[in-house]
Amino acid sequence: MSDRPYHHGDLRSTLLASAERTLAERGPQALSLRELAREAGVSHAAPGRHFKDKRALLDALALHGFQRLQAALEEARRQQDQAGADTGAYLLGLARAYVGFALASPALLDLMYARKHDDDAPEQLAEAVGAMLATVLDTIAEGQRAGEIAEGDPTAIAFTVASTLHGFASFSAGASIEDVDEGLGDVVRLLLTGLGPR
């Protein structure tokens, strides 16, 4: 028919990229394996060779999202390392990275967490969440060593920080970056000083 080679060559990545775009532009309901196949210029059953299920595609998409989010968090930490920053700056950096991701890809973030509490979700997703918590934990532990974070179970502290970040990101989806970034500074400051009376 066409001069297109029989083998696409990189169908899996193409499908994932296409899926992420559709997800961002038209939401999860609009995702259709057949449409992705059409966009990639392959037959309607071709995606089945790379993803057993529609669910498998969604899982792969979610996992890919976690990997990128994780990379963004670690990149943020590295930048603060270079700047020799204090713990507050580290936390703000992590927060910016997390919220930036959430603003850029709200639907993807939803997907990532929605699939997480399906009981038959792949363990890789749970591991990805664990890796993120570990990144926050590292920052907290370092802060404690520097005397900039209060004593106490660092895991509990990290969990609280991660909760706040995720909740803030979840609430902020849809707002403008400027507004959010301003609020973010307040949040990190409040988190450090506490809500109780001085």
Partner DNA sequence: CACTCGAAGTTGTCAATGACAACAATGATG
Partner DNA sequence: CATCATTGTTGTCATTGACAACTTCGAGTG
User: Residue 143: which of 132, 129, 131, 157 has the closest Cα?
Assistant: 157
- Residue 122 interface partner, choices a second copy, DNA, none, CB cut-off 5-8 Å depending on type: none
113 contact, one of a second copy, DNA, none, CB 5-8 Å limit per kind: a second copy
Q: What is the dihedral of CA 14, 19, 22, 26, to 10 degrees?
A: 170
Query: Nearer Cβ to DNA, position 63 or 158?
Result: 63
Would you put residue 194 in left (φ > 0), alpha (ψ -120 to 50) or beta? Answer: left
Q: Which amino acid is at 177?
A: I
How far apart CA 190 and CA 194 sit, in angstroms, is 5
CA distance 77 to 100: 14
113 binds a second copy (CB under 8 A): yes
Task: Name the one residue in this structure whose structure tokens are 């603060």.
Answer: 80
- 147 forms part of the interface with a second copy (CB under 8 A): yes
Residue in 55, 122, 138, 142 binding a second copy, rule: CB under 8 A: 55
- Rule CB under 8 A: choose which of 163, 176, 178, 181 binds a second copy: 163
Residues contributing to the site for a second copy (CB under 8 A): 27-29, 54-55, 106-107, 110, 113-114, 116-119, 129, 140, 143, 147-150, 152-153, 156-157, 159-168, 170-171, 173-174, 183, 186-187, 190-198
